[in-house]
Structure 1
Amino acid sequence: MTPARKLQVLCQEDFDRLLLWLDHDPERAGVVYEKIRWRLIAILASRGCPIAEELADETIDRVARRVADIQATYVGDQAIYFLGVMNNVHHEYLKQPVLRLIDIGHDSDERERTYLCLDNCLEKLAPHSRQIIERYYAETKRARIDLRKRIAREFGLSLNTLRLRALRIRAKLQTCIKQCLEVSEASSFGKRLGREISPNGRLC
Structure 2
Amino acid sequence: MAGTSSLIVAGLTAAALGAVGLLGYQARETAPAHLSGSPGPNASASAGRTPGGRHSPSSVPRGSGTGERVVYSVDDDRVWLVDQGNRVQRSFKVLPGTVDPPPGTYWVTSRSSATTGTDGVPVEHVVRFTSVQGLVIGFSAATAPRAAAAEPSVRTGGIRETRADGEAMWMFATIGVKVVVIR
Q: Which has the higher helix share?
A: 1
Normalised by the shorter chain, which TM-score bucket?
Answer: under 0.3
Which of 1 and 2 has greater Rg?
Answer: 1
- Higher RCO, 1 vs 2 (CA within 8 Å, ≥6 residues apart): 2
TM-score by length of structure 1 reads 0.23
Name the one with the larger strand percent.
Answer: 2
User: TM-score, normalised to structure 2's length?
Assistant: 0.25
